[in-house]
């Protein structure tokens, strides 16, 4: 079935109808989430009781908007904190890995590359519990021998950051490596011939070339960290990131505040997505 | 460019990746295995043995949940493939230029949004007081509200929705690389649409199908949010059991054994998928 081979009109229309239905299926859940954020009712459900912005700005119970709900605001802050750390670390380590895999040949390279891909095929929950178990036993051992407290190794933000970092780095590595492979080494050699130092050449020639990939992987890492649930669930301590807070609220029974948070999340994702697209267009 | 500085540079580059992989991936998984083979015999007293695994096989609730999770994940993978393939084919072969990019991006948009938000959307749709129930009543197809949430079908819808991108993207990539003239040749030689599909398109798309299936299966198997929220209390998903053992019951030894079993199943499926397609992990995963 390709354009140059004629097909019965009926089959064509059925196919098109299926594609349209599929895109409706994709859009439907997000649409209802957004629509019910503006419903003037205490449940995110029909009937429609009129348009309101109370779920964003409301101050009176039960209509307490997102911007006045402390728990949610705090967890957005926590998520942003975690996401910035994860994204920064993942991009730095990812860039190092890209140079290692593209520029160097060494014994065990294939094995190391395979190990680097492993986090992709380990379920997030397992990643979470393995880090939880390991760091807790290290903390136990250290506390038994030294008599000091090692709270950083107990469930909490440090473990959440490490847990998310452990698999997001793989994505960063893949994105940055792909770009570095397209780099023409003669550009760097030219810089060296013109008297640049090795680091100077990398700093002024190679890294600017990699910048689109670095920005793209930073954005993707930010989003993946912000959205991560499985790994975070196992490692979270008393400061809950947004997804965990929302999950707890959802289990207790949902109110349109959650829709309003979702609308904000969708807007943030869209903004970040547009930003990275624009940036890539600009660079090209 | 082999010199002393490059040697030093090499070790400096090697340090972060080793630190990452050893401290966050390898040692934790060894630790997980060690804990899974230790049995508690008293407060802070353990002995080595496979008792936790014996508990798993001895208690029908545990291994049945495990089997159920595996079977439903396989079903979700098959369903995702069946639903996603025509879409991928449409995008790759029947659209050109702008339309193609737009459709491809439209496929991705839902996945820029948190899984929690997507699942929440399905809850609003499927709930007893939800949009679909009201819509059906409005059409007069049912009298009175229908609860479509908290059953296996709801879990299935959620799983397919969550993972379909990971099927469509590799499929579009492989189908894109199939030259139209090969399909034309198939028709010219008298092949029917079904024959062309079977003999030309599907064999060519096999790498994409395999990598899509591997990823979707893994994501379904390891999913926690969708089964718990859409399946309700009786969702009986294995990740839920792991969570219960770890966080609610505080039985880390049994929980570790569960975790290891899930990891083993997931690795086995990846291994079989790669064997089936005759490709390496690097080829399959490295491209996405």
Would you call B93 an interface residue with chain A, using a CB distance cutoff of 8 Å? yes
Query: Is the pLDDT reported for residue A93 higher than 90?
Result: yes
In three-state form (DSSP H/G/I as H, E/B as E, the rest C), the secondary structure along A28-44 is HHHHHHHHHCCECCCCC
- Where do the domains of chain A lie, and which CATH numbers do they carry? 72-250 (1.10.3720.10)
Tens digits of residue pLDDT in A234-254: 888 888 888 888 888 888 777
Tokens of A107: 């014994």
Q: Please tell me if residue A236 touches chain B, with a CB cutoff of 8 Å.
A: no
- pLDDT grade for B1, boundaries at 50, 70 and 90: very low
Q: Considering only CB atoms, which chain B residues are within 8 Å of A29?
A: 110, 118, 120-122, 124-125, 161
ipTM entry: 0.84
A41 interfacial to chain B (CB closer than 8 Å): no
Beta bridge partners of B40: B46
Residue A64 parent element (H or E): strand A63-64
Q: Per-residue pLDDT for B255 more than 60? A: yes
B4 confidence band (pLDDT: 50, 70, 90): low
pLDDT the model gives residue A4: 67
Q: Which domains does chain B have, with CATH numbers?
A: 60-286 (1.10.3720.10)
SS3 B269: helix
Average pLDDT over residues B66-90: 92
Give the distance from residue B254's alpha carbon to the nearest chain A alpha carbon, in angstroms. Answer: 12
- Section A33-51 average pLDDT: 74
Contacts for A273 with CB less than 8 Å, ≥ 6 apart: A219, B112
Long-range interactions of B56-62: CB distance < 8 A, separation 24+: B56/B254, B56/B257, B56/B258, B56/B261, B62/B241, B62/B258
Q: Which of A45-59, B118-132, B137-151, B160-174 has the highest mean pLDDT?
A: B160-174
- pLDDT tens per residue across span B226-252: 898 888 777 788 888 888 888 888 888
> Could you please report the per-residue DSSP string of A189-256?
HHHHHTT--HHHHIIIIIHHHHHHHHHHHHHHHHHHHHH--HHHHHH--SS--HHHHHHHHHHH---H
> Does residue B146 belong to the interface with chain A, where contact is any CB pair within 8 Å?
no
Instruction: Quickly count: other Cβ atoms within 10 Å of residue B73's Cβ.
Output: 25
Residues of B in contact with A96 (CB under 8 A): 12-13, 16-17
Structure tokens that stand for A189 in this block: 């050699």
% chain B with pLDDT above 70: 94
Q: Within 13 Å of residue A230, how many CA atoms lie on the same side as its CB? A: 25
Q: How far is CA B232 from the centre of its chain?
A: 20
Residue pair B281/B269 in contact (Cβ under 8 Å)? The answer is no
- Say yes or no for a CB contact (<8 Å) between A45 and B129: yes
For B108, nearest residue in chain A (alpha carbons): A26
pLDDT at A90 over 90: yes
């Amino acid at each position: 079935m390709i354009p140059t081979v004629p097909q019965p009109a009926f089959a064509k229309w059925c196919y098109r109808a299926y594609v349209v239905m599929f895109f409706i299926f994709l859009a439907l859940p997000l649409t209802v989430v957004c629509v019910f954020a503006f419903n003037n009712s205490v449940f995110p459900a029909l009937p429609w009781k009129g348009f309101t912005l109370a779920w964003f700005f409301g101050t009176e119970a039960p209509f307490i908007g997102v911007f006045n709900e402390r728990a949610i605001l705090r967890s957005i802050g926590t998520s942003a904190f975690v996401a910035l750390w994860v994204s920064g670390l993942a991009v730095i380590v990812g860039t190092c890995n890209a140079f290692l895999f593209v520029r160097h040949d060494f014994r065990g390279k294939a094995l190391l590359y395979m190990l680097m891909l492993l986090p992709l095929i380990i379920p997030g929950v397992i990643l979470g519990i393995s880090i939880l178990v390991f760091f807790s036993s290290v903390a136990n051992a250290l506390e038994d021998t030294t008599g000091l407290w090692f709270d950083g190794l107990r469930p909490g933000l440090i473990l959440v950051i490490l847990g998310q970092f452990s698999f997001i780095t793989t994505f960063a590595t893949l994105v940055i490596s792909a770009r570095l492979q397209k780099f023409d080494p003669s550009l760097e050699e030219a810089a060296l011939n013109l008297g640049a130092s090795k680091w100077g050449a990398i700093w002024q020639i190679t890294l600017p070339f990699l910048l689109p990939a670095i920005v793209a992987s930073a954005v993707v890492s930010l989003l993946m960290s912000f959205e991560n649930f499985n790994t975070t669930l196992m490692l979270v301590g008393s400061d809950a990131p947004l997804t965990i807070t929302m999950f707890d609220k959802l289990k207790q029974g949902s109110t349109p505040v959650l829709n309003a948070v979702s609308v904000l999340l969708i807007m943030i994702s869209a903004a970040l997505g547009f930003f990275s697209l624009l940036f890539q267009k600009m660079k090209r | 460019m082999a010199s002393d500085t490059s040697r030093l540079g090499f070790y400096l580059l090697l340090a972060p990746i080793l630190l990452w992989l050893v401290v966050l991936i390898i040692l934790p998984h060894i630790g997980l295995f060690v804990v899974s083979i230790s049995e508690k015999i008293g407060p802070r007293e353990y002995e080595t043995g496979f008792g936790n695994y014996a508990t798993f096989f001895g208690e029908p609730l545990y291994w049945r949940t495990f089997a159920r999770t595996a079977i439903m994940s396989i079903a979700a993978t098959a369903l995702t493939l069946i639903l996603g393939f025509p879409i991928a084919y449409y995008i790759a072969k029947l659209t050109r230029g702008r339309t193609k990019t737009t459709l491809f991006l439209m496929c991705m948009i839902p996945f820029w949004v948190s899984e929690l938000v997507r699942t929440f959307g399905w809850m609003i749709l499927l709930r007893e007081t939800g949009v679909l129930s009201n819509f059906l009543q409005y059409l007069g197809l049912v009298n009175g509200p229908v609860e479509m949430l908290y059953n296996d079908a709801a879990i299935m819808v959620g799983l397919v929705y969550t993972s379909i991108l990971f099927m469509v993207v590799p499929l579009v990539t492989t189908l894109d690389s199939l030259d139209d003239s090969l399909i034309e040749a198939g028709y010219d030689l008298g092949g029917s649409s079904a024959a062309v599909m079977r003999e030309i398109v599907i064999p060519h798309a096999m790498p994409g199908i395999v990598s899509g299936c591997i990823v979707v299966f893994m994501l379904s198997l390891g999913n926690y949010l969708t089964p718990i929220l859409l399946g309700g209390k009786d969702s009986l998903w294995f990740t839920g059991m792991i969570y219960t053992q770890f966080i609610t019951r505080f039985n880390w030894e049994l929980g570790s054994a569960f975790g290891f079993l899930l990891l083993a199943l997931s690795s086995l499926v990846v291994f079989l998928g790669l064997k089936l397609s005759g490709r390496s992990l690097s080829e399959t995963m490295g491209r996405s």
